Structure 1
Amino acid sequence: MTAPHTGGCRCGAVRFEASAEPHHISYCHCSDCRRASGAPVSAFVGFMADQVALDGKALKTYENGPVRRSFCGTCGSPIAYVDERLGGQIYFMLGAMDMPAYFRPTVHAHVREQLPFLHMPDALPRELKTSVPRPDGQRPDGQRPDGTQS
């Protein structure tokens, strides 16, 4: 798999291109991603934002706390999310990639919120909370630096 990696929405009004390899590919089982995607589990491909060109006048955003999700205002396709705590990173929906089969997730995040009927029998690591540590000290296992659970 070599860059550039491209993708976009269903109707073509929003397009993006990453000029480098992704730094993170994961499944997310959190309820926020479920509601944003309309799917029982989401998958994301993470790039450094300065390596991405995103184009489309139809691009709309929705902000919820530190997370800003983008979608096509024409067809409604979810496109990406940016977490302000993860400066300089952008995570595209795996389904928005032109060649999604090239991006194999390497971890499951927020498995504490995984739907009980959803069975994904792979050997990937499973994090109780996030798979990408935030600067606020939250580790992938959901614990704070002092050992307490967040």
Structure 2
Amino acid sequence: MTVLMTGGCQCGRIRFTAEVEPEKAYLCHCKMCRKATGGVSIAFINPPRENVTWHSEPDWYQSSAIARRPFCSHCGTPLGFEFLEGAKAIDLTVGSFDDPTPFRPEHNYATESMLPAWADVRHLPGYTSAENPNVIDRWKAAGMEPPE
């Protein structure tokens, strides 16, 4: 089932609307995506290109001979991945959606590059942002409440 969802970059300069199937997200573990995002993997959703409307055109970086990546040159937010020739679909970063909670991964991609230590972190202790007085104090010193 497809749903219409909105998203954009951190600073709000780039905005998009996309009709997506939230249960068809996936994690890409390829080395190029790791370098492009600075993460150990990246969560993507892959809607048809015609189901994505950019309300403000993103900046584009040609990351290889076969692909380019939309991003915001003002705040640095990575927004996706797209093949150069004949692309019928575009990957959008799950984290760039305003509400990514409906997304569910259905598979991993580029598993040959997966970092095993990061495959399952459920056993690690977890801490909330509210438990970090350094962060809380910095937000309050800036005259603001910490974001969720």
In which range does the TM-score fall when normalised by the shorter chain? 0.7 to 0.9
Give 2:59's aligned residue.
60
Amino acid at match of 1:35: K
- In angstroms, what is the RMSD of aligned CA positions? 2.2
Max Rg structure: 2
Higher helix share: 2
Say if 1:111 and 1:85 are closer, same or farther in 2 by CA, change over 3 A: farther
TM-aligned CA deviation for residue 70 of structure 1: 0.9
Give the conservation status (yes or no) of the 8 Å contact 2:23–2:103.
no
Give 2:13's aligned residue.
13
Give the conservation status (yes or no) of the 8 Å contact 1:27–1:105.
yes
Give 1:129's aligned residue.
none
TM-score (norm 1): 0.72
TM-aligned CA deviation for residue 111 of structure 1: 1.1
Amino acid at match of 1:96: S
Give the conservation status (yes or no) of the 8 Å contact 2:2–2:22.
no
**What are the superposed Cα offsets for residues 56-107 of structure 1, whole Å, 9 maximum, x if unpaired?**
25x2111111111010011000011111366220110011011111111100
TM-score (norm 2): 0.73
**Relative contact order higher in (CA < 8 Å, ≥ 6 apart):** 2
Give the conservation status (yes or no) of the 8 Å contact 1:23–1:48.
no
Q: In structure 1, how many angstroms separate the alpha carbons of the residues matched to 2:91 and 2:32?
A: 14
Percent identity, aligned pairs only, is 33
